[in-house]
Amino acid sequence: MNGMVHGTGPDALPAPVTAIEIGNTIPRVLVRQAQRFGAKPLIAFPRQRQSLSYDGLLAFSKAGAYRLQRVHGLAPGTIAAIYLQNSADYVKSWFSCLFAGVVDAPINREFRKSSLFFGLTTAAAEAVFTDGQGVEHLVDPEVRGYLGNLRVLVLAGDYDRATVDRLLSALPTPVPVVELDALTAPGPDEDLWATLKSNEPALIRFTSGTTGPAKGILQSHLHVLAKSAVHNEVLEYGPDDVLYTPFPLHHNLASINGLIGTLQAGGTMVSVAKFSASGFWREARECGATLAHLLQSIAPLVSAQPPSPDDRNHRVRYLWSGRPDPVFEERFNVRRVQLYALGEVGVVSYKRGGEEAGAGMGRPLPQMEVRIIDPLDRPVPSGTVGEITVRPRQPHRVMLAYHNNLPATMRAFRNLWFHTGDGGYFNETGELCFAGRMGDTIRRRGVNISSEQIDAEIRRYAAIEDCGVIAVPSETGEQEIHACLVWKADPGDGEKAFDLLSAFLAERLPKSYLPRFYESMQELPRTNTGKVRKAALRERPRYGPTWDREKSCWIQRSS
């Protein structure tokens, strides 16, 4: 689940986004927008002092695509891994692939050893775009065995060629190497992109892996364009806007909603490689952002910063953030917009603050049919928690498949509905409500309980910075509620602090929703986009000292 916050920035008339045409591809959109916007910056990287214009990126992309196909023999449909930090080189690599029909599968630049090997093998990559430091990780003994599958290694950025040659010379099988600057240098100009079809694979983006190994979401050109167009509609993104996003380009938000959305809107995107809670508003202000991305999972880190006279000194009109937070909204002069979205589908429902009463995330979009089901795929009554399933009313509005994972694809699409793995329900106003991942739903005394709802109430407590509520086994054979807490400051007497928190929750939650167990932690395990990895919390061999509220004693429990 994701969401946004709507602020009071400068008045501006929203401009229409690029129309979604059934035959459109991402290269066709760039060709059209380069004719329209020319030398206007499409994306900027202020920390590296780099930028790419619409027409500049088009030139790099066409040249890179020609050499990938004609010189290095990468036919359309070939998979290429991009193992780079956010940079102009990353974007040139990505769009060279898009124009050649090569499917890019970005790998988190922080991955090392077995996680890097997993990314390469899951993608089945035949080419890798990386830099000098990336080569050091690729030749690691746990990874190097894969490199014999590569048809080309493309090197970007500044690096010592002698060092790279020495590292690669130790490989049992030689790997052809080309520099990105040479790949995208001016040269033959052939419109290879014109033969691409809108329903063909364009790219792979990996799931965040909150509940298990990450899966590669294989997406067509039309699906990508449709997802980002809805994002633009919600943000009212137009040519006069500047979008600030502090997330990696291997993530859906920065790449598809971010850069592809910017391309369609005719705006400018400002990208930084890593989120900074202390620098978030300063960087947004300095780049003149009128829109920004901030995932709900890390919004509390921004709230935790010391108050500043500059808290409201920004031009941001919409902020992609999350769950209702009156204190945040008042402090930063914003009002919320909630939505439910996922990488495999895009935005399913949303509503802006003040549009409708109720605690839901709006009614499903007209192009989406949504059903809440039980474990046997039968619809459940309104108000009952079940799994959210989605079926589009328009073609090409969901992913093509989980790449190289037929069992997961078949499970997700069973009975002609896409199974999200998320718990939810429809409330009395007909709005879709999110109840957490199905694996995070707690079964207590015959009732399904949303861990997300308990999380939200705990985060309202002034002394809590963040939390993760999980299910643990109970003596009755069902489950009990265990709250993992990160405090803003040392709570001192833990027993008293837990009692005060319990009293606060008792005024806001049903009795059956109150946690029995409380555990204080220094930090919570997270994905690279800041989501709490509740599976990791549950699967720890031993938990820390835990307060049992019902028995008023400390315990030490194992998973």
Please give the Cα distance from 421 to 402 (Å, whole number). 14
Give the tens place of pLDDT for each residue, 224-277: 999 999 999 988 999 999 999 998 999 888 999 999 999 999 999 999 978 899
Among residues 310, 349, 354, which one has the least CA distance to residue 335?
354
Assign residue 387 the CATH number of its domain.
2.30.38.10
pLDDT of residue 111 exceeding 90, the answer is no
CB distance 143 to 116 below 8 Å: yes
Domain finish residue from 411, 440, 469: 440
Is residue 251 situated within a structural domain? no
> Among all chains, which residue has been given the structure tokens 């746990």?
142
By residue range, what is the domain housing residue 493? 449-555
Q: Does pLDDT of 1 surpass 60?
A: no
Confidence at 460, pLDDT banded by 50, 70, 90: confident
Residues contacting residue 28 through CB under 8 Å, at least 6 positions apart = 193
Contact at 8 Å (CB) between 534 and 541? no
Q: Is residue 146 part of a domain?
A: yes
Mean pLDDT of 52-60: 97
- Domain's final residue, options 165, 194, 215: 215
Find the mean pLDDT for residues 522-546.
85
Q: Does residue 358 or residue 502 have the better pLDDT? A: 502
**Per residue in 464-496, pLDDT tens?**
998 999 988 877 667 889 999 999 988 877 788
Predicted local distance difference test score (pLDDT) of residue 559 = 63
Give the CA distances from residue 141 to residues 116, 137, 146, 147, in Å, rounded to whole numbers and listed in that order.
Answer: 12, 9, 10, 11
Cα(63)–Cα(148) distance, rounded to whole angstroms? 26
Question: pLDDT band at residue 385, thresholds of 50, 70 and 90?
Answer: confident
Considering the domain architecture, whether residues 58 and 134 belong to the same structural domain is answered as yes
Mean local confidence (pLDDT), 33-55: 96
Q: What is the pLDDT of residue 529?
A: 65
**Which of residues 406, 440, 474 is at a domain's end?**
440
CA distance 415 to 109: 37
Same domain flag for 382 and 462: no
Contacts 24+ apart (CB under 8 A), 435-438: 435/385, 437/210, 437/211, 437/534, 438/387
**404-424 per-position pLDDT tens digit:** 999 999 999 999 999 998 889
Query: Does residue 226 form part of some domain?
Result: no
Is residue 58, in this structure, part of any structural domain at all?
yes
Structural domains of the chain, count: 3
Pairing label, strands 334-342, 346-352: antiparallel
* Cα–Cα distances in angstroms (integers) from residue 92 to residues 39, 84, 274, in the given order: 16, 11, 20
Give yes or no for residue 205 having a pLDDT over 50. Answer: yes
Res. 302: pLDDT tops 80:
yes
The yes-or-no verdict on residue 59 having pLDDT over 50 is: yes
Same-domain check for residues 403 and 466: no
Q: How confident is residue 536, by pLDDT bands cut at 50, 70 and 90?
A: confident
In whole angstroms, give the CA distance from residue 128 to residue 415: 37
Q: Domain with 466 in it: what CATH number?
A: 3.30.300.30
Q: Residue 395 pLDDT > 90, yes or no?
A: no
Question: 33: pLDDT confidence band, cut at 50, 70 and 90?
Answer: very high
In a domain, 115, yes or no: yes
Q: Are residues 400 and 506 in the same domain?
A: no
**CATH number, domain containing residue 105:** 3.40.50.980
- The verdict on 434 and 504 lying in the same domain is no
Q: Is 268 helix (H, G, I), strand (E, B) or coil?
A: strand
CA–CA gap between residue 214 and residue 528 (Å, rounded): 12
DSSP 18-41: PP--TT--HHHHHHHHHHHHTTSE
Residue 176 forms part of a structural domain: yes
Consecutive H or E run containing 274:
none
Q: What is the pLDDT of residue 85?
A: 94
Taken in order 317, 322, 325, 327, is the CA torsion positive or negative?
A: negative
Tell me which DSSP letter residue 513 carries. Answer: G
38: phi then psi, degrees, rounded to nearest 5: 55, -120
| Position 477 in a domain | yes
Angle at 454 between CA 435 and CA 442, to 5 degrees: 60
C-beta of residue 74 within 8 angstroms of C-beta of residue 152: yes
Is the domain of 187 the same as that of 88? Answer: yes
Query: Confidence class of residue 2 from pLDDT cuts 50, 70 and 90?
Result: very low
